[in-house]
Amino acid sequence: MLTLSVSEVLRTTPRTRRIRLALHGQPFPYLAGQAVLVGLDGAAPPRPYSIASTPAESSRDGLIELLVRVDDGGPGDLHADEVRAGQAVQVEGPFGRFTTPSLAPGQAVLVVAGGTGIAPLRPMLHELLLQPEPPPVTLLYSVRAADEFAYLDEFEEMAATGAMRLILTVSRGDRAWPGRHGRIGEALLREALPMSPEAVVGLVCGPPDFVRDVRAALLRLGVPDAQIKREQYDG
């Protein structure tokens, strides 16, 4: 277990914060997509949070970044909107096997994120797109309201350069949002597939019902189950 400190708390969306933890020169090797157990110093029990930074960013900046919600936590939980710079936190890990996949020649990647499920997918996206010969990648990202997209500027820049395709959808009515509305279903997944289903590797993260439904739809579309990598969370 490591004792780290909160370096910075950034308001990302109305319901999320990017919490950066200072490593203080301590080595912390991890794989993109992995998670840590984190608790406020002296409080229990710790909770799991996916690491939203890339290993390269952590090595360069001496920080690990978490994307956390602020509206559903309790005492001692990073979800509570009371975390401040300088606070000590206890960190265990890293752990998890939901990491950047090794691809066969000719495969493409469909990344499907629901809400803060984008956190472990962000570093995997970066690693996929930084490969010497990046695969075709589509990011399909769903949130409840238009102001809840995290890392949106970053993803739009990736899409604008042609590095990946970006499809955004808002699941609740939002008249101010000019883009797509509705939950991610079979029709939208079919549109998002970067190539024929048997050649697609799916990376899916979000709430349990979201992950279950996306997996079922991908199976119906012909994506092999062994090629659907998924992670779920209850927050």
Q: Look up the pTM and report it.
A: 0.93
How far is the C-alpha of 203 from the C-alpha of 215, rounded, in Å? 10
User: In b/e form, how buried is each residue of 79-104, taking b as 16+ CB within 10 angstroms?
Assistant: bbeebeeebebbbebbebebbbbebe
DSSP class of residue 172? S
Q: Which residues contact 33 (CB under 8 A, 6 or more apart)?
A: 50, 51, 96, 98, 99, 100, 120, 121, 123, 124, 231
Please state which CATH class domain 2-95 belongs to.
mainly beta
**C-alpha span between 108 and 56 (Å, rounded):** 23
CATH 3.40.50.720 fits 108-232, yes or no: no
**Cis bond before residue 45 (omega within 30° of 0):** yes
How far is residue 203's CA from residue 15's CA, in Å, rounded to a whole number?
A: 24
Model pLDDT for residues 110-148, shown as the tens digit of each residue: 999 999 999 999 999 999 999 999 999 999 999 999 999
pLDDT tens for each residue of 70-101: 875 554 466 556 788 999 999 999 999 999 99
Nearest partner of 225 among 212, 210, 234, judged by Cα: 212
pLDDT digit string, tens, across residues 141-178:
999 999 999 999 999 999 999 999 999 999 887 777 88
Q: Where are the domains of the chain?
A: 2-95, 108-232
HSE-up (13 A, CA, CB side) for residue 221: 28
